[in-house]
Amino acid sequence: MRVLDTVTGTLVDPVVDGAATLYVCGITPYDATHLGHAATAIAFDLLGRAWRDAGVAVRYASNVTDVDDPLLERAADTGVDWRALAAEQTALYREDMTALQVLPPDAYLGAVESIPAVVSAVEQMLAAGTAYRIPTPDAVGDDDLGDVYADLHADPQFGAAAGLDRDTMLTLSAERGGDPRRPGKRDPLDPLLWRRERAGEPAWDGDSLGRGRPGWHIECVAIVRGNLGARLSVLGGGSDLAFPHHEMSCSHMRVLTEDPHAGARVQVHTGMVGLDGEKMSKSRGNLVLVSTLREQGVDPMAIRLAVLAHRYRYDWLGTDDVLRTAEHRLARWRRALSGVGGAPAEPLLEAVRTALADDLDAPAALAAMDDWADAALAGVADPVPGAPGVVARALDALLGVRL
Ligand code: ZN
């Protein structure tokens, strides 16, 4: 079972001694669940299924960023309490995942419930001199504890994984949650670890840090360390998380553990899903939500097949055609499986396993099943009794497609 490590650009088997840990960065719950979220969740679900099928001991953790600037902004824009928005969208996401047959993580945690672990990690970095404070005169309270930032110069490996030039890193940092223009930082790229409470913003007890809330990257780090250990087999997420989020997260893990091999053995990134020629964008409002499709009566298994028809690592467009094709394929497979007997199941199982082992080549797995269905519908000369049942159960287990 090999996957594309986006750091080295090579195919790598992340499993060591029959075991693997997987962490996938989850959603910020304010627009759950658009097709891009679903595609990422399904890609790593396939990985977990392939590993389990091969007898690998898998431990999988994920998170919900249930307090973050975009969530607070959406709540303010719509006049909804941010806690209610987060709870409602998280529940919707979980419902969508159940409908899409995505197996739940072994550990699924929110940022808010991870705050004590974040606080102790940030305190540890301050004590070690790998983090520093910037005064915050606008913070609530009259202490001057300041916001806390990681000092990236403490990590000689910083930037090696993403392999970007400095200008690109600065641009991406500004676009993706960083604040390179914040005065007082030692390096414009240094990421926020702890933000002191400001008027009107939610805040939690931060012990010696003062009341405030966590930075984005350190949240995932706290969950990874607490549930999987700091040497991950696979760190996964959408390709827009490679920098700065995954670069910063791995850097924090190395600095916190003083282990140059901490972080992720392999980073796997999924492509972006666009819609009808446009990049899917919250501001344009052209997000296709899984729940909307379900409400319209689209079979969740057709949505899953639409995702699986695309290789996970490439960008693709979610068009109506893609969905219609998937519905047609689903109906055809069901017809093929409703007959008495069929072509032998074993060659198909072998083809599906081989396809998944080759960097999760789901389109090849689907093509193999198309061939089996073609044969079944054309009429097999020597139908094998029970073959449709074996095929249906195998596709359920390996591809998560319930027929
Ligand atoms: Zn993350």
Between strands 3-5 and 10-12, the pairing is antiparallel
Distance 334 CA to ligand 1 centre (A): 38
pLDDT of residue 278: 57
Distance 86 CA to ligand 1 centre (A): 17
Distance 379 CA to ligand 1 centre (A): 50
Rounded Cα distance, 290 and 311, in Å:
19
Q: Cβ distance 140 to 196 under 8 Å?
A: yes
pLDDT of residue 319: 87
Surrounding residues of ion ligand 1, Cβ less than 5 A: 25, 220
pLDDT of residue 277: 54
Render pLDDT for 139-198 as a digit per residue (tens, 0 to 9).
Answer: 998 788 999 999 999 999 999 999 999 999 999 999 999 999 999 999 999 999 999 999
Quickly tell me which residue has 């409908």 as its tokens: 99
Distance 373 CA to ligand 1 centre (A): 40
Q: Tell me: pLDDT of 353 over 70.
A: yes
pLDDT of residue 284: 52
315, amino acid identity: D
Distance 328 CA to ligand 1 centre (A): 36
Question: What does pLDDT average to over the chain?
Answer: 95
pLDDT of residue 320: 87
Q: Tell me: pLDDT of 330 over 70.
A: yes
Distance 239 CA to ligand 1 centre (A): 12
Distance 34 CA to ligand 1 centre (A): 18
Distance 320 CA to ligand 1 centre (A): 31
Render pLDDT for 264-285 as a digit per residue (tens, 0 to 9).
Answer: 999 999 999 987 655 554 445 5
Distance 71 CA to ligand 1 centre (A): 15
Render pLDDT for 47-78 as a digit per residue (tens, 0 to 9).
Answer: 999 999 999 999 999 999 999 888 999 999 99
Q: How many CB atoms lie within 10 A of CB 139?
A: 22
Q: Which residues pair with 266 in a beta bridge?
A: 234
Q: How far apart are the first and last CA of the chain?
A: 25
Give just the sign of the alpha carbon dihedral 303, 306, 312, 313. Answer: negative
pLDDT of residue 144: 84
The pTM (predicted TM-score) of the whole model is: 0.95
Distance 305 CA to ligand 1 centre (A): 26
Q: Cβ distance 187 to 153 under 8 Å?
A: yes
